[in-house]
Structure 1
């Protein structure tokens, strides 16, 4: 993690360029932001504000359902469905001793895959259909539209990151074909004044994938840790996403891009809603530092890792639904 006291803002309006001053400016800004902070706001991302507004409304609609309705689609072995409060714990956190579950509940979806999908036929980890709640008109359609938009955006961001690292524009194309991607609709209850110090909305952690794109409401509560050990607030900025780098991209870049610790503490007295989208490699990919990121001054820092096996371990450790019973 680097030394910073605020989160930079990057205009990605020219991200569709393959060459020229616009894309070169984005490359420079991403190289600086994610080589020091690991987090940035991205603006002019071309995702329609109306779609984002509809997404948050569907999140409120879902979380307003009675518990008996939500629990009908409780998180399954394909990591899709409803995650009740007190069932997810960041036991792998290297940043704090975490013994208590995160104070949040959420709905999670992934790429829709039916029995004819190649990933399902080959038995890929987590490949399969989503679970959808009953009685919420438009819920599946809005979430699927947003999921597709963010998938498209992240593919474009990966092309830019390849340029940031000095690699070919299409370096990551096959590594995310298809991607492992998660969309979560999270609700954080307000923290109580007498709650213990180790009870978090989301405990201190780094994301274990590649790219996280966060849409957040105006409540606040997200904080990022700098090299001085200070927790820096990441407030809401209208029409922006918050984007951060995860552990796999940190590994691919041989440490050049930073996976920064962050947490959520909701002390506002209001419910907090956020919609993170996690964009990660295909489960059959091995992640190892790119040759262009290794030299005499920066020797190889990481061994190759099987992403699918790594992901399985992370989910088994962090979620009651995936925990291996002895």
Structure 2
């Protein structure tokens, strides 16, 4: 078994596409370096994220939007749970989504963002980071297209004005003798197209291999962890794997402090129809998926399963 790929996407994508693709097929995960998101922007974003989560609970809860399914603003500790899980995850988070101009054809699918007035620079910083994530994600999708034998720009139209969401995530510190090894986020697959994750340097992220073993994901400082979501697995007839993963509390002192991370859930356009790619159907891999479905309908179906809709 090979290891999880770790590649620089500053190199020509033709040189790294198959290494990334191999990793996505085998593990559903890869690590990318030189992704183009400036380190000073990452540092500012991490600082402001910590400032927001340090606010009093009653202040944060003012930004919880009832009936919004957690798509924007604040979601309190103990709300979300993994599909089929019996208990809620030990986390709180904030969502920033795409902002579309009034009258845009897809505006009905994307609510306006809300912004905390208590944290200076929050809106400007996370608007900038959202755009940087979007650009990095598109470059990863270009590499995936090359690996699949598709035109390099195949995915550009599928994700243009997509319903992508950036999550600022905090796992509060745990206490007691059971803190070490506790499950902070239960095993789950991501719903979306691909996920780009900042902040996985802190030990705890693990993926489930095809052998049924939990494998730690340990990227170098400043790198992005990328994983395939259910939408892309469905589109590729399972060729690219949406792998179950979880977050466990590490051993030692790190078990007793808060964990922060920033995943970017890159989505197809809400009106994009997910239908198995012909190039991913062959006698060994027949198309056995359900009927084609729009990415919006697929998303809503899955959000209901994880207690967010």
TM-score in terms of structure 2 length: 0.91
CA contact (8 A) 1:251 1:302 kept: yes
CA drift at 1:107: 0.6
Give the Cα separation in 2 of the matches to 1:211 and 1:217: 16
**C-alpha offsets along residues 45-100 of structure 1, whole Å, 9 cap, x if unaligned?**
1111111111111110110111111111104444101010111111x24xxxx111
CA contact (8 A) 1:223 1:264 kept: yes
Secondary structure, in 3 states, of the residue corresponding to 2:266?
strand
1:156 aligns with one of 128, 136, 139 = 139
Other-structure match for 1:312: 300
After superposing the two structures, state which structure 1 stretch, 185-194 or 35-44, moved more: 185-194
Other-structure match for 1:106: 93
Give the Cα separation in 1 of the matches to 2:284 and 2:209: 25
Other-structure match for 2:256: 269
Q: Alignment RMSD, CA only? A: 2.0
Other-structure match for 2:74: 82
Secondary structure, in 3 states, of the residue corresponding to 1:118?
coil
2:21 aligns with one of 5, 18, 31 = 31
Give the Cα separation in 2 of the matches to 1:103 and 1:86: 6
Where in structure 2 are there 5+ consecutive unaligned residues? none
**C-alpha offsets along residues 219-238 of structure 1, whole Å, 9 cap, x if unaligned?**
32111111222211123521
**C-alpha offsets along residues 232-288 of structure 1, whole Å, 9 cap, x if unaligned?**
112352120111111111111111111111001124211100000000111111101
Give the Cα separation in 1 of the matches to 2:215 and 2:279: 32
CA drift at 1:162: 1.2
Other-structure match for 1:19: none
Give the Cα separation in 2 of the matches to 1:258 and 1:241: 18
2:285 aligns with one of 284, 298, 302 = 298
Is structure 2 residue 51 aligned with structure 1 residue 61? yes
Other-structure match for 1:180: 163
Other-structure match for 2:119: 136
Give the Cα separation in 2 of the matches to 1:105 and 1:229: 29
Other-structure match for 1:243: 226
CA drift at 1:40: 1.3
CA contact (8 A) 1:190 1:266 kept: no
**1:209-220, aligned counterparts within 5 Å?**
209-216=192-199, 218-220=201-203
Is structure 2 residue 35 aligned with structure 1 residue 45? yes
**C-alpha offsets along residues 90-115 of structure 1, whole Å, 9 cap, x if unaligned?**
1x24xxxx111100001111001353
Structure 1 pair 38/218, CA: closer, same or farther in 2 (3 Å)?
closer
CA contact (8 A) 2:200 2:218 kept: no
Secondary structure, in 3 states, of the residue corresponding to 2:256?
coil
After superposing the two structures, state which structure 1 stretch, 29-38 or 308-317, moved more: 308-317
CA contact (8 A) 1:211 1:280 kept: yes
Secondary structure, in 3 states, of the residue corresponding to 1:212?
strand
- How many residues align? The count is 302
TM-score in terms of structure 1 length: 0.87
CA contact (8 A) 1:217 1:272 kept: no
CA contact (8 A) 1:219 1:236 kept: no
Give the Cα separation in 2 of the matches to 1:228 and 1:192: 32
